[in-house]
Structures are given as C-alpha cells and as structure tokens.
Amino acid sequence: MVGIGDDAAVVATSGDAVITTDMLMEGVDFEPGTDPRRVGRKSLAVNLSDLAAMAAEPVTAFAAVALPRSGGRAIAEQLYEGLLALAEEFQITLAGGDTNSWNGPLVISVTAVGRVTTRGPLLRSGARPGDVLLVTGELGGSILGHHFDFQPRVREALWLHAAAELHAGIDVSDGLTLDLARLLAASGCGAVLDLDQIPVSDAARQLAADRADGISAREHALSDGEDFELVIAAPPAEADRLLAAAPPVRLTRIGHCVARPGLWQAARDGNWEPLLPHGYEHQLS
C-alpha cells in the first residue's frame, strides 16, 4: 500500500470497497473553541459509524482540512492526534489527505474506506414486513457530549452481521425516527414502533429536566441527532437469536416492519397512530 506522500493512495481492499465521506464544520458540528482533538476524533468516528451501518470492516481513511491560518499548526497537530488515536483503536491507517489554510473557520472532511465481509454489505433497502427492528445502545441527548465521545458501532455491527441474517441497517445520525424513515423508504415498507421500548439515555433525561421546554426524554430519544447507534431490521427468528446470544452491546427490540408504508406507533387501543419522522435536517434556501 502506498500512503501519504504520493499523489494518491493505493488501497488493497481485496474485494468491493465501501466508501463514505462526511464533513464537519466549526459552528455547525462543533462550537468554536472545541478541543481540536475531539473534532479530529469525531471526524473519523462519524465515518466509521457509516461503515458500521454497512457492516463493513474499516481499512483506511483520508482527511481534507481547512485550517485557520492563525494558530493552524497547533490546531492541525491536535486534530490529527484525536483522529489518529481513534484510527489506531480500529487498527486503520490514515492513507492520505489534503491540508489547507485559510482565513475561515475550521473544516474537516474525512473519507473512510472499508471492505465488505463475506456476508456482503448491510443495506438500508432490505427490510421486509414482519422484520423486527432492533436498536443498539441508548438514544437521545447526545448534544451533552455523546456526539463527541460515542463509540462507532463497528465491532458491534460486524458481530451482529456475523451472528445472524440481517435484512437492513442504518446508523442514527439525524434522529431515530428520521433515519428509520429513510431505511423504510429505501425498503418500501413501513414500521410500527413500541414507544415504551425505546431505550432512553440518561443524557436525554437530563436534557429534558434541564431544559424544561416540554420536550420529554423519550421525544429526545426519538428525534435527537448524532446518537450514532444502529437500527437493524431482522427476521423474527434471527432477532430472537441475537437477543438471546449475549450481544456485545445493549440491543433492544423497538418495533417491527409492516407492509403499510409510513411510521406508526401502537396506541393503547391496538390501532396505529402516525408518528412523524423528526430530526436534524440541513436548511437551504
């Protein structure tokens, strides 16, 4: 493999390459003054989360950076310190990049490359009516810190993908209901959620208590972005097997897929009520 120092990197993926790219911008994805190590870590972590959502093994990553001219060298060092520490944790290399300076805010764009396992990639489009919906970890309130410190669910995804036949997967980057709606749209089916089963994080509870704005902890869990947990659709027998098999992460059954398109919640009377997908969407005019 040819790494940093040539015009491009040569990456041996031995099969299909899985590639994803994500950009973080100062003032949007992190506040000005944030420790650049946290920014560097997050810039890779969000991409690893996308690879996890495809159940791909990370191989390498590339970083393109726009650094403020003043203090840029120190920022760059800390940025790469955070990025490389996470890369080491997942035993991947940083194969190349593009380091720039300007009179603007910090921007970092990372592209991560993975490879599919023998099971093939886990897509958004494979969910079928009857599939059970599972979610890893706990949801909501990531703004309190989890959006920097989260562990991308790479190992968990590989474990799940190896342990059972999964139909579809996505990572929660913009909010559970919003990302789930994307999976459902890609799969051409709907889902009924059992809201009592949504795993609500302590951070979501704290946020609801602190803000006292009428948004409940569960609503935070349903719609906050940047949880970076995985939502998986699997046939019932496979889901049962996973839940019984001591998975390496908390795994919760939150609902099931149905033929009727849309996102629904089971009401007490047994009927379905519409659940509006809600989460973070970029605004453009």
Instruction: By CB under 8 A, name the binding residues for its own copies.
Output: 2, 5-13, 16-23, 25-28, 50-51, 53-54, 56, 60, 62-67, 69-73, 76, 95-105, 107, 109, 111-114, 116, 121, 123-125, 169-171, 186, 282-285
Distance CA 37, CA 214 (A): 34
Place of tokens 């089916």: 189
| Residue 175 backbone phi and psi in degrees, to 5 | 130, 140
- 84: which residues sit within 8 A by CB, 6+ positions away? 40, 94
State the nearest-atom distance from the C-beta of 69 to its own copies, in Å.
Answer: 6
State the nearest-atom distance from the C-beta of 188 to its own copies, in Å.
Answer: 13
Nearer to its own copies, 137 or 200 (CB): 137
| Residue 152 backbone phi and psi in degrees, to 5 | -60, 135
Region for residue 71 given its phi and psi (left: phi exceeds 0; alpha: psi -120 to 50; beta: otherwise): left
Place of tokens 């493999």: 1
Nearer to its own copies, 103 or 271 (CB): 103
Nearest-Å Rg of the Cα atoms of the chain is 19
Q: Compute CA 176 distance to the chain's CA centroid, rounded to the nearest angstrom.
A: 10
State the nearest-atom distance from the C-beta of 154 to its own copies, in Å.
Answer: 12
Nearer to its own copies, 185 or 195 (CB): 185
> Which amino acid is it at 247?
P
State the nearest-atom distance from the C-beta of 283 to its own copies, in Å.
Answer: 6
Nearer to its own copies, 171 or 219 (CB): 171
3 state DSSP class of 106: coil
| Residue 278 backbone phi and psi in degrees, to 5 | -145, 140
Nearer to its own copies, 82 or 97 (CB): 97
The answer to whether 127 and 179 have CB atoms below 8 angstroms apart is no
